Amino acid sequence: MLSVLEVKRKLPKDFIENLYKNYTPVMVDKILAGLNGKRNVTLRVNTLKYSINELMKYFKEINIKFERVPFFNEALIIKNQTEKQIQKLDIYEKGFIYLQSLPSMLPPLILNPKPGEKILDLTAAPGSKTTQIASLMENKGYILANELDKIRCKRLEYNINMQGVKIAEVSNKRGEIIGKLYEEQFDKVLLDAPCSGEGRFLANDAKTYRGYNKKQIMELSKLQKKLLKSANQAVKPNGEIVYSTCTLNLEENEEVLQFAIKELNLKLIDIKIKDKKIDLKNAMPAFSIEGQELLKKAIRILPNENYEGFFVAKFQKKLANTKKN
């Protein structure tokens, strides 16, 4: 394991400077400690094909050690296997399980899709959240899974088929235009936005932060706002939008929320899972900007051995907002 000082030296200078700009020194040390070393393998059971009880029984039989996940009964933290080892299992090859980070499982749970609803996954590849949404919907309803990149779109189609999803249609279009094409057609929209990926940095893995720079952050923030505008156009009045990133800076998180509230007239609402507030030891409220305390309804998850850094917020489209996008 590296020391915090060694982690600072390895990670991009701009990233470190931005951390100290936005967080206390104690919090920065906590974040950097969470970006040191490897993360445990985490997965969820595909309830369209298998059950958590069957999975736990099987893992016990083959001596795979695991822990339960407090906020999601269908997820496990694997203690003594690598991803490559899990991928060799028959249950993986059959689509009975899906390797997925724990924070990545939160947006679909917070979106709370119901059987029979019409859902838009605006930037869907590789399909982890699309397939989770389909499981939560019990394969009843409709999902439009959109992805711009053609290669990633193929991966999205593969995962949807492998997981036994029957209700998803794959679209290969720019996310910014989806709202105009499907104006006010969806009950709920998930926007897991393209981002700088700061929460996924690992100090000993240079490819996780290669190419990172401040200019990229500003370009991504502009794109995220355009995508959120599209999501707002696509969702029905009183419908809900979940916005998430796997990054830690304010430009791609709080500032995008501020744009949604001021420019799109979206209402930021409390984050809950099955009507219960999320209680994660390594989560904190979003920062307020210009005195906007309501931004604290969103949450930021700090990285550690089980979680990558993450940010998630939930909006509701006001009735007065309809037809004014």
For residue 61, give the H/E element and its range: helix 52-61
Q: Domain range spanning residue 92?
A: 40-100
pLDDT, tens digit, 9 for 90 and up, residues 22-33: 999 999 999 999
Specify whether the CB–CB gap between 190 and 120 falls below 8 A: yes
pLDDT, tens digit, 9 for 90 and up, residues 252-269: 999 999 999 999 999 999
Confidence label for 321 from pLDDT (cuts 50, 70 and 90): low
Statement to judge: residues 123 and 74 lie in one domain:
no
Statement to judge: residues 88 and 222 lie in one domain:
no
Q: Which two tokens stand for residue 308?
A: 């990558």
Other Cβ atoms within 10 Å of 74 Cβ, number: 22
Sign of torsion over alpha carbons 46, 51, 53, 58: negative
| CB-facing half-sphere around the CA of 112: CA atoms within 13 A | 12
Please name which of 194, 170, 169, 189 lies closest in space to residue 179, comparing C-alpha atoms.
189
Listed in sequence order, the residues at least 6 apart from 258 whose beta carbon sits closer than 8 Å to its beta carbon are 289, 290, 292, 295
Q: How far apart are CA 4 and CA 265, in angstroms?
A: 42
Statement to judge: residues 309 and 281 lie in one domain:
yes
pLDDT at 275: 74
Statement to judge: residues 177 and 80 lie in one domain:
no
Could you list the beta-strand ranges (E) of 161-280.
Answer: 168-171, 186-192, 235-245, 266-269, 272-273, 276-277
Statement to judge: residues 244 and 110 lie in one domain:
yes
In this prediction, residues 47-56 reach a mean pLDDT of: 98
Q: Which two tokens stand for residue 43?
A: 């997965």
Please name which of 162, 176, 153 lies closest in space to residue 131, comparing C-alpha atoms.
162
User: Is it the case that residue 12 has pLDDT exceeding 90?
Assistant: yes
Statement to judge: residues 217 and 168 lie in one domain:
yes
- Which residues participate in catalysis according to the annotation? 246
pLDDT, tens digit, 9 for 90 and up, residues 159-199: 999 999 999 999 999 999 999 999 999 999 999 999 999 99
Q: How far apart are the first and last CA of the chain?
A: 50
Q: Looking at residue 197, which CATH number applies to its domain?
A: 3.40.50.150
Q: What's the mean pLDDT when you consider all of the chain?
A: 95
